[in-house]
Amino acid sequence: MATEARVVGNSTIVSTNPATGEVLAELACASSSDVQAAVLRAKQAQPAWEATPPRERVAVLRRFQRLLCEQRDQVADLICREAGKPAVEALTTEVLVILDAAEFCIHNAHDFLREEPLPHANLAMKTKRGKLLREPFGVIGIISPWNYPFSIAATETLGALVTGNAVVLKPSEFTPLIALELQRLLLAAGVNPDLMQVVIGEGPTGAALIESPIDKLIFTGSVATGKRVAEAAARKLLPVVLELGGKDPMIVLDDADVEIASSGALWGAFMNAGQTCLSVERCYVHRSLYENFLEACSNKIAKLRVGNGIGSEVEVGPLIHERQLRIVDEHVRDAVIHGARLLQGGKRLTELGPNFYAPTLLADVTRDMRIIREETFGPVLPVAPFDTDDEAIRLANDSDFGLAASVWTTNRRRGEAMAKQIKAGTVMINDVISCFGIAEAPHGGFKLSGIGRTHGKMGLAEMVQVKNVDTDLLPGMPKVWWFGYGEQFRQQMNGFIDLLFARSWGKKLKGALRSAGLLRRGNRI
């Protein structure tokens, strides 16, 4: 039985439990005209929401936060059933992350949206006063993925709403029910139904959203799809934020604690069955620790409990669908063919269900293996040795991706010095993945990992357009730089430039004398 959301005919999606194949719901797909209508409704509702004082928008988020806290077990249970992840991870990496993201918006939105005075350093501009205004784009289109179907969609939605935008959300076809649960909570908190709409479907629905009159798009997904999204958006000059995944390296230095680092590697590689853009997908260990590290990892992997995520004791759940499982299996087989040592796993667990794959440990991986070059997105920990810090940095940066990385050491200064040399949007010292749960920290990467940032103040900045308002305080006075040019004016301006920027005080004084007649210039038009 295929355990994935699928389209029946051209109009219906069936959502299923990836662990059991249980059918959870059958939902109608949004047509292109449905998407257009949703965006138009959002455009009509958005101006009133923009005019709503920030404190009232914040109050809505407070109510949402309270409802989510009260109903967290219900939400986590749905995440377990539709996305397959263990119950504890549904709480920690989805619900907890969003409760904290809401807290960040609640405490920071008002100051972020406040008018900002703009200083004028130029002497010629001292009779003016400027300020920066942050105004919403209008309607934000969000295309969110299946691997964190609640936390990614909700983080972006909350940021868009609190800054005065409307949202039209297109969730993954594999996790539509979770998006509808997010919508239910927001509407119960007081959001106008037209301000937060969900359109369900596959690729054509996402394409229709891009072609609709949205004002900005936030997309999370694969590089291949992200490139197509960017091309379509470019034809309209539609601004975008793209989060396109990673191939995150973990560097274990010679002074690291092997016991701690090996446990961190397991969680970083196998949490959410490895289906995390921030997963440890490349692990480089100093040769002096290499075999001890592999032994520790192997022993710990043998203790992991794999199964249906509904069980509170389960640590590794299923992959989302058969297609993802095939990619993982192909990467592991390719690595073994090219000389990698298979120390744990490397097989399907068909006795548990069609989408389970054993947590896998590979040693002696190299650059010519797909598992080092391509995003695997599965429960695999590939490990390779290195000899020097410079080699470790070179290996870490030897990737088309640059989302995140981690350095493991007992010397904080050494770790931070190495972090400065790694090309990634986030570098953690002695931890992995948890940066996503830091509401204040921007999330995004370098190179093929995407464009722009979500989360924190940088994430809020992606939701607004900045307007400069400048007022002249002497409206009855003609401006020095207006028409009425001539040789005298040229000489006066040269003197004024010397007054402002000449290196010697003598030249500055001469410049002041030469420019003295600027304000009395009588030939202005």
Query: Catalytic annotation on 243?
Result: yes
**217: which strand partners?**
141, 240
Quick one: tokens of 503?
């290196």
CB contact at 8 A, 203 and 226: no
Residue 9 has pLDDT above 70, yes or no: no
Q: Find the catalytic residue in 105, 277, 283, 435.
A: 277
Judge if 98 and 182 occupy the same domain: yes
pLDDT of residue 28: 96
pTM: 0.95
Residue 5 has pLDDT above 50, yes or no: no
Judge if 212 and 329 occupy the same domain: no
pLDDT of residue 521: 81
Report the number of secondary-structure helices (H) and strands (E) in the chain: 18, 21
Judge if 224 and 272 occupy the same domain: no
pLDDT 10s digits, 71-100 = 999 999 999 999 999 999 999 999 999 999
Q: Is 525 a domain residue?
A: no
Q: Which domain holds residue 514?
A: 478-520
Judge if 170 and 214 occupy the same domain: yes
Chain mean pLDDT for the chain: 96
Report the interhelical angle of 203-211 vs 223-236 (nearest 10°): 30
Strand runs labelled E in 291-439: 341-344, 360-363, 380-386, 401-402, 404-408, 426-429
Judge if 107 and 67 occupy the same domain: yes
Q: Find the catalytic residue in 4, 156, 181, 243.
A: 243
Judge if 433 and 286 occupy the same domain: yes
- CATH code, 102: 3.40.605.10
Count up the domains in the chain and report the number: 3
Judge if 234 and 254 occupy the same domain: no
pLDDT 10s digits, 384-405 = 999 999 999 999 999 999 999 9
Average pLDDT over residues 344-351: 98
Q: Is 450 a domain residue?
A: no
Query: Catalytic annotation on 277?
Result: yes
pLDDT 10s digits, 116-168 = 999 999 999 999 999 999 999 999 999 999 999 999 999 999 999 999 999 99
